[in-house]
């Protein structure tokens, strides 16, 4: 593969796809309560929104893997640039599908449309990370991926806010206000146009096509590595718990012993949850810069506070326009949890396995606190799962592919398939909610975080038994892994 210098005018077009992934993934949470009320769904049925979206990642990745395994890498033949354009067009078709689906008042058609959007995203995700790394000096490739990850997290933060304005006319509506299903037509039509516009811009940009022809390994040798097997389950659980926590939050916050809020008044909480991921990812990105120990410690405090400030600023602008500034108090109360995250970064010492054990354990404790309390303390405790999930993808990814050698790419594709967890775990939690209650259903995240803590310990033991220089291996892995993208 040829290395290319970055074209400054074209590079922003490339990383824009990272924004779309985050924007749509976070915005799905706004659709869930609307669909639940309109179609009179059970809680587990409402989670089919996540099921359709994240199953598309699995199906798309599986199809791509099978084609690559049998006939060679199709992107290597047509080029990364054309691959991204095709992915954007597929997502545009899916977004446009919301128009006839809303007209037909059909929940299945809505899910099919979202599935098609996700198929396009699967292809885009397979292309975009290596594309970003290829465009320039490999030594600074991780910096560019981290930048793209920050764009992704910004999309997750403002996605719920912008979609709520497009659907509700403001961030919130009066409790009990009916929202017509036709309200989704305009925002998804605009999204369709945006996909097509960026596909056009991608086509006329000066981004190099980047093609390659490499020998295909016709075996499943990656499966002989236990760190990959444990890692695949870890990715499945991680993506699942990250999505499930927030997908069930609107229903949780409706309960009188929690906040007693109608789903139209919970948007800023959803934005704060996804913003929590941005806080952690921005802080985790500090490690890719060559800073002195003193400066790194200082930035570990400043960066998360800066990211938190961005969240507050975005919401302040929206609330000020809606004359609802009193709702800012809901965001200010989250500050202590940001301080806990900062403490966690100092304790983790930039070691992936240690980070997995520590952050997963802290998250499990927060979930237990949420289960044993009510009101804002419970809601914020559950929401803080976003803070601790924020840096898990690069840790899991790097630990899973360490020592795979020529099977690294095969292992990577297997890990991406396990995004399927985002399709399975939310409906599972929804089913538990229907059988008992939404509060008790948060036992599912506790179990997930316990496994992730176990994975951090187990992966280290497995690698040491293979005689791998643990710290050196995982540090190299993180450079190539980048940030997790929804």
pLDDT tens digits for range 32-88: 878 888 888 887 888 888 889 888 988 988 888 788 777 766 776 787 788 889 999
Kindly write down the DSSP assignment for every residue of 8-77, as one continuous string: TTTHHHHHHHHHHHHHHHHHHHHHHHHHHHHHT--HHHHTHHHHHHHHHHHHHHHHHHHHHHHH--HHHH
pLDDT of residue 119: 92
CATH number of the domain where residue 434 is located:
1.20.1250.20
Report if residue 438 sits inside a domain: yes
Report if residue 286 sits inside a domain: yes
pLDDT of residue 250: 87
Q: What percent of the chain has pLDDT over 90?
A: 32
Report if residue 486 sits inside a domain: no
Domain span at residue 420? 11-481
- Which residue bears the tokens 């809601």? 379
Report if residue 477 sits inside a domain: yes
Report if residue 3 sits inside a domain: no
Report if residue 165 sits inside a domain: yes
Report if residue 49 sits inside a domain: yes
In angstroms, rounded to a whole number, what is the distance separating the alpha carbons of residues 208 and 195? Answer: 20
This prediction has a pTM of 0.77
pLDDT of residue 90: 95
Rounded (5°) CA angle 121-127-130 = 135
In angstroms, rounded to a whole number, what is the distance separating the alpha carbons of residues 178 and 254? Answer: 16
Report if residue 435 sits inside a domain: yes
Residue 139, pLDDT > 50, answer no
Residue 216, pLDDT > 60, answer no
Q: Tens digits of per-residue pLDDT, 256-279?
A: 788 888 877 887 888 889 889 889
pLDDT of residue 473: 43
In angstroms, rounded to a whole number, what is the distance separating the alpha carbons of residues 349 and 355? Answer: 8
Structure tokens at 233: 């389950």
In angstroms, rounded to a whole number, what is the distance separating the alpha carbons of residues 61 and 387? Answer: 27
Count: domains in the chain: 1
Residue 5, pLDDT > 70, answer no
């Amino acid at each position: 593969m040829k290395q290319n210098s970055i074209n400054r005018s074209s590079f922003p077009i490339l990383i824009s796809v990272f924004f779309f992934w985050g924007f749509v993934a976070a915005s799905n949470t706004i659709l869930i309560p609307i669909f639940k009320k309109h179609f009179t769904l059970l809680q587990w049925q409402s989670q089919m929104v996540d099921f359709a979206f994240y199953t598309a990642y699995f199906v798309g990745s599986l199809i791509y893997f099978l084609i690559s395994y049998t006939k060679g890498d199709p992107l290597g033949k047509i080029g990364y640039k054309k691959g991204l354009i095709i992915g954007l067009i597929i997502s545009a078709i899916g977004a446009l599908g919301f128009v006839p689906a809303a007209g037909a008042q059909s929940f299945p058609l809505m899910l099919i449309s979202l599935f098609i959007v996700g198929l396009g995203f699967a292809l885009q995700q397979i292309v975009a990370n290596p594309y970003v790394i290829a465009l320039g000096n490999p030594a600074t490739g991780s910096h560019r991926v981290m930048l793209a990850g920050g764009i992704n997290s910004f999309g997750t933060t403002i996605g719920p806010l912008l979609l709520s304005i497009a659907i509700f006319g403001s961030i919130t509506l009066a409790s009990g206000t009916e929202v017509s299903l036709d309200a989704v037509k305009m925002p998804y039509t605009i999204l369709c146009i945006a996909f097509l516009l960026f596909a056009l811009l991608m086509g006329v940009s000066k981004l190099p096509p980047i093609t390659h022809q490499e020998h295909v390994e016709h075996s499943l040798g990656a499966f002989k590595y236990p760190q990959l097997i444990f890692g695949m389950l870890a990715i499945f659980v991680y993506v699942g718990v990250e999505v499930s926590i927030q997908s069930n939050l609107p229903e949780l916050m409706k309960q009188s012993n929690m906040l007693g809020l109608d789903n139209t008044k919970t948007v800023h909480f959803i934005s704060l949850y996804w913003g929590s991921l941005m806080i952690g990812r921005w802080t985790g990105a500090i490690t890719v810069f060559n800073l002195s120990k003193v400066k790194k410690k200082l930035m570990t405090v400043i960066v998360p506070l800066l990211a938190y400030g961005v969240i507050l600023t975005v919401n302040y602008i929206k609330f000020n326009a809606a004359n609802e500034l009193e709702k800012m108090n809901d965001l200010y109360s989250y500050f202590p949890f940001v301080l806990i995250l900062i403490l966690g970064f100092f304790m983790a010492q930039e070691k992936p396995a240690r980070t997995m054990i520590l952050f997963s354990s802290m998250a499990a404790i927060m979930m237990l606190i949420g289960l044993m309390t009510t009101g804002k303390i419970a809601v914020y405790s559950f929401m803080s799962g976003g803070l601790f999930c924020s840096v898990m993808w690069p840790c899991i990814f790097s630990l899973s592919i360490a020592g795979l050698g020529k099977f690294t790419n095969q292992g990577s594709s297997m890990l991406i398939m396990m995004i399927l967890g985002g399709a399975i775990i939310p409906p599972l939690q929804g089913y538990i909610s229907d059988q008992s209650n939404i509060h008790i259903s948060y036992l599912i995240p506790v179990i997930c975080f316990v496994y992730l803590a176990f994975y951090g310990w187990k992966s280290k033991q497995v690698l040491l038994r293979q005689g791998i220089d643990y710290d050196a291996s995982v540090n190299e892995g993180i450079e190539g892994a980048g940030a997790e993208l929804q």
